[in-house]
Chain A
């Protein structure tokens, strides 16, 4: 029997657990390959062909091609791996973080300067239910 997941209630968060690690193995190993300059060049030259070298499903490949950063996490990606794709695109951690929150770079940076996102109102999915 599977262990209960008390963290399923966290809003806007994918915990990279055993299920996610299994689902995303090839996606993450693709990201890992981008640590080599020659692989980054090959990927940039023909993204689709490069992705086809990895036994990912089509949904995962589409998330990568569309740079759907949240989608990649849902499909088993881990942020430290997908950050390598971001680096390949010339994006920083803060830039992809802003994208994943759906805010502009300027708004996200300002939120951080103001002390970040507070835990109040962000602890449970129930608190996010009525958000606009």
Chain B
């Protein structure tokens, strides 16, 4: 039986990827960010997942406004790296796990989550920056990746509760897959940030820290946060945090917080990161 053993949440700030790709990770501005992931890299090297499911959002790379799926899953064998306007990031292509991805589709749809099947998809910084933060700069990513895209570009984005329930559906799907696979699920994006308009630069450390606390201890309070609260308190892009709730929904009710890191600023954003392990 396949099993989700842990969840990782992390911001996916493009400037972090650019800093790494351009050899600036040792500069005073960026050093604390990368040092904050040293323990995480050791952790995941020890855990050695067989597959990672990465929940992220596409930033108008694979999906324009022509088609905007609320939830989509990458079922391809390989996902090319997107050119986001300055050439593709110099990272290895992402290998998928079509068998498990299709299995998740079948299980989730019958579980009433009508997720969009994607067989051709370039992946952007939303997916590749978390991989870089957790795995560094390998020649090939150490395991297959199943991308799960969430629309957080066109409002309204799915509710936190819907995301949390999707996490539960993913877990159910994984546990009915007839192969022994160790799986880590990532929730990415956030934390508080606003990239646009005269209010750009909004950061709410208090909200973020409370969110991290409750992610571990009491996610039931987080699933009830209405959209307006994310928008008002955490900036227009802070609402990406609903994606963390998919990760959390896929874990046990009781989890162990293995590690946490929070840093302001990374470009326009409060960078948050947490690792949660299932106890069972």
Interface on A for B, CB 8 Å cutoff? 6-7, 10-18, 21, 25, 28-29, 31-32, 34-37, 40, 70, 73, 78-81, 83-84, 86-88, 92-94, 97-98, 100-102, 108, 111-113, 115-119, 122-124
Chain A hits for B236, CB < 8 A? 10, 13-15
Chain B hits for A97, CB < 8 A? 195-196, 200-201, 268
Given A25-B65, A35-B61, A70-B197: A94 touches B268 (CB 8 Å cut-off): yes
Asked if B194 is an interface residue, CB under 8 A from chain A, the answer is yes
Given A84-B60, A87-B86, A123-B232: A116 touches B270 (CB 8 Å cut-off): yes
The residue of chain A having its C-beta at the shortest distance from the C-beta of B237 within the complex is A79
Query: Shortest beta-carbon distance, A123 to chain B, in Å?
Result: 5
- Number of B interface residues in the complex (CB < 8 A): 43
Query: Shortest beta-carbon distance, A91 to chain B, in Å?
Result: 10
Pick from A34, A79, A108, A122: contact of B196, CB below 8 A.
A79
Q: Which applies to chain A's interface (DSSP): helix, strand, loop or mixed? A: helix
A35–B85 CB distance below 8 A: yes
Chain B hits for A92, CB < 8 A? 15, 267
Interface on B for A, CB 8 Å cutoff? 14-15, 59-61, 64-66, 82-86, 153-156, 192, 194-205, 207, 227-228, 231-233, 236-237, 264-265, 267-268, 270
B196–A17 CB distance below 8 A: no
Docked Cα-Cα span, A108 to B60, in Å, equals 26
Given A16-B154, A28-B64, A35-B61: A117 touches B231 (CB 8 Å cut-off): no
Pick from B66, B154, B201: contact of A117, CB below 8 A.
B201
B201–A108 CB distance below 8 A: yes
Pick from A11, A17, A25, A28: contact of B156, CB below 8 A.
A17
